[in-house]
Structure 1
């Protein structure tokens, strides 16, 4: 027997409204007439009734699931497309067949896990999901993938943030990994629970480019926090960096600690070797992509620590390093980022954010005695070997152009194309293929100190992006270049709240950078412009009131995070 019910198209009303309006009388009818049992099946533009057998348990379970509103039809039919050919409504199919085939009613509930855990108390004909809704709906039941040590509660919080994260696209993840099968798990949940940990491509380059394109069009100006009364503050703050990590991260950790102390907080530098017994009230983990992946940090990966901590991100979203640190950002109470344009993406998913890019101090670079015996030092011009100072006039600097960085296809192409041009100038150009973090120990430890020393002897510090993305490592370039008295010449880059193009640094396309360099070095107008740029940069670095205001900004941010934790 088939009854057609016209004008109840799926598209005409929200699905739950259609179901509730239609199912309530149907269930009542079924209960009143125990000899007739019906189920819903879609037929083109109408809904039809198909005769089948529904037991009293089936009816009870259907009502429970329907009233909960937690059955995700789109998930069910997309994940299990074969169910659409049965002609049965997805809820009916799940109650009668899907639960026995280990199918899941939504992304948050795993039928197999629940059945295994509660098999002894689930009635013989009772649907596992309906049992869950009646007895355990405050508990989460889904697989944890590679994140077994974390609770369902915190992983659900991460999921709710991740599914709305601007840089993720479920369609892209499915497309880029065609060999993956998403049986019982959505691409979003797979990316979170497996993809990140497996080192897969997770974030969609188009979304990233589109997002930063919009952000870079917005006015980028520094606006101080005008809050006069600061709320709750932690008694102790620990700024963590990994002892075997990049020297650049160590430097940032020291600067952040200094800012916190000047803001009036009790802040200490800590590493992965710090025992848990010395845990501070508030933990700030610098470079989570590095800290939590190098050896010795396992005791700091505990859930109660992470969800009450701040992550200081120093990576750009286009990199694998950023992706693998993302899970810790999602777990955290707040995110500090060195790139101001990156903040809004985190803020949009509910994280408290802060831009930290410390104003450098004008001070002389310090080398170790052994550095002066290193080949890198011995190839410098005699005038550069004799000493350095940020205040050395540009005309007296022995090096015309300097550059430090890791190798990339973009940089290789640039230097190969411009080799003849640079051969006419006194240059120190260093770029290498990275084989790990640039640490303060080992054969490359001099690179933690030499770039700034060389910049103090250079007229121009060159910045060529590592790839095609215009992410500008502001702190490194500003610290090594502007604060060393060199004129920074860079490819087009993301704007900064404080440093402005044409005022504090110079921008040109890679094709025309040689023309700009030639003008700055060889013409009276160019030399005059170089001195103006240098003077403008020094004016910011010498602004003590600006430093105090930025200390207050940081204090207000720490207070907002700490108050939320409490």
Structure 2
């Protein structure tokens, strides 16, 4: 590791008023930094410092929530800007969405920008804002459930995600097929943040148990963007589920057919049918995927890489 900055401490900032999943993202990074040997604090509804400390980085997780829901209500506009110039922001939202635009506003003034998806990195760079690709890494403290054997998984096909007309259309169009299997479809609202106790929202152990009981996880994009929903894929892999997904960009280092199944939308049903009828083929992919991420794509590995990149600036 470069010693040009010698970072040895990280503070992560989130708001309790945002989605529970953003808290989990912050917790994943906190664990990764800890395992990398850094001193870590995860701070909820706290204002980042404006004091420059050479060995410390401050990271605002999910700025599209932290700023409008908390920081902009706590400080004046001028003080918000002063804070922003001393923090890095970690964006988790898709380009083209309202939430990305909200995140972009502080990001353009921040000390640095991280993004969990390469599409986000490209969009920031296109706008003249340098960004570092910082994907989620595997952390079994938050994802790994019991890892049931394939034969003991009662749910054949699971979809869990926010509601959109595109997703609703896909599920309804293929209702005849899904009715032949034990399926569980959960579409959450997007008009308000989903908190830990929001009715109908699955997070933490409750979500992991659901994933652990499912053979196939459908990944249908929210809209017509080819944004790879890495967080959903990672949770599926951690719980021994096969991901059958619409075509996505930047799935690397995962390989379709080896770690998951990428498909044209019109062929998804055929892939689901095949892998439900061929348990050994399904098991081989889920096993390969799990071994790959725990050996090559952990939160610690991701955080080590991030610190190296920051130190090299």
Segments of 5+ residues of structure 1 without an aligned counterpart are 1-227, 367-387, 562-566
Q: Deviations over 1:489-548 (max 9, x none)?
A: 1111122232121111102223221111111112xxx32221111111111233179765
Distance 1:556 1:349, change over 3 A: farther
Tell which deviates more after alignment, 551-560 or 305-314. 551-560
* Counterpart-to-counterpart distance in 2, 1:347 and 1:474: 21
Aligned to 1:389: 146
TM-superposed deviation, 1:555: 1.5
TM-superposed deviation, 1:284: 0.7
Aligned to 1:485: 240
* Counterpart-to-counterpart distance in 2, 1:548 and 1:276: 25
Contact 1:462 1:490 in 2 (8 A): yes
TM-score, length-scaled by structure 1? 0.50
Is 1:293 the equivalent of 2:72? no
TM-superposed deviation, 1:488: 0.4
Aligned to 2:254: 499
Contact 2:138 2:234 in 1 (8 A): yes
- From 421, 444, 464, the equivalent of 2:220 is 464
Is 1:247 the equivalent of 2:4? no
Report SS of the residue matched to 1:542: helix
Distance 1:331 1:278, change over 3 A: closer
* Counterpart-to-counterpart distance in 1, 2:299 and 2:163: 35
Distance 1:548 1:516, change over 3 A: same
* Counterpart-to-counterpart distance in 2, 1:410 and 1:267: 40
Is 1:330 the equivalent of 2:108? yes
Report SS of the residue matched to 2:132: strand
* Counterpart-to-counterpart distance in 2, 1:365 and 1:253: 14
- Greater relative contact order (Cα < 8 A, sep 6+): 2
Distance 1:499 1:544, change over 3 A: closer
Aligned to 1:553: 305
Contact 1:456 1:486 in 2 (8 A): yes
TM-score, length-scaled by structure 2? 0.88
Q: Deviations over 1:77-126 (max 9, x none)?
A: xxxxxxxxxxxxxxxxxxxxxxxxxxxxxxxxxxxxxxxxxxxxxxxxxx
Report SS of the residue matched to 2:68: coil
The structure in which a higher percent of residues are strand is: 2
Bigger radius of gyration, 1 or 2?
1
- From 10, 14, 24, the equivalent of 1:237 is 10
Report SS of the residue matched to 1:476: helix
* Counterpart-to-counterpart distance in 1, 2:190 and 2:101: 19
Segments of 5+ residues of structure 2 without an aligned counterpart are none
Q: Deviations over 1:191-215 (max 9, x none)?
A: xxxxxxxxxxxxxxxxxxxxxxxxx
Q: Count the aligned residue pairs.
A: 308
